[in-house]
């Protein structure tokens, strides 16, 4: 019998993003409010910083929005100078929010 595939954040949430200058904003919203406590517990600043090591060079601000079953992050110094200044391909909020949804959930 094979083991069940490991669940990732994408299985229980969606993400929205924005970018302005050298800052990206990422919101992770539970698809079902019952999953919000798990998202709130496992999406810490430290875990997001580790996930984006080498990409986010500044502070990370975290805001909990329980009424929306969401967690919102502001990633400072995350866009290689800003979308219009960066030579990186797709190094803006949309790409970062998709990457965040690949985080494995705890067993």
Q: Answer whether 51's CB lies under 8 Å from 97's CB.
A: no
Q: Write down the pLDDT at residue 103.
A: 83
Q: Answer whether 100's CB lies under 8 Å from 56's CB.
A: no
- E-state strands within 1-107: 13-20, 23-30, 60-65, 70-75
Q: Answer whether 27's CB lies under 8 Å from 70's CB.
A: yes
CATH classification for the domain delimited by 9-100, as one of 1.10.132, 3.40.50, 3.30.1360, 3.40.1840 = 3.30.1360
Tokens 């919101």 correspond to what residue?
27
- pLDDT tens digit sequence for 73-107: 999 988 766 555 544 544 556 677 777 888 888 87
Q: Write down the pLDDT at residue 33.
A: 97
- pLDDT tens digit sequence for 47-61: 999 998 988 899 999
Parse the chain into domains and list their residue ranges: 9-100
Is residue 65 very low, low, confident or very high in pLDDT (cuts 50, 70, 90)?
Answer: very high
Q: Write down the pLDDT at residue 96.
A: 79
């Amino acid at each position: 019998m094979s083991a069940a595939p490991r669940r990732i954040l994408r299985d229980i949430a969606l993400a929205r993003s924005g970018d302005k200058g050298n800052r990206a904003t990422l919101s992770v919203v539970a698809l079902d409010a019952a999953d919000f406590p798990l998202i709130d517990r496992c999406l810490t600043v430290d875990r997001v910083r580790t996930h984006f090591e080498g990409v986010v060079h500044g502070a990370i601000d975290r805001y909990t929005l329980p009424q929306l079953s969401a967690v919102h992050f502001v990633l400072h110094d995350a866009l290689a100078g800003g979308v219009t200044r960066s030579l990186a391909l797709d190094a803006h909020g949309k790409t970062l929010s998709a990457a965040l949804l690949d985080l494995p959930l705890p067993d």
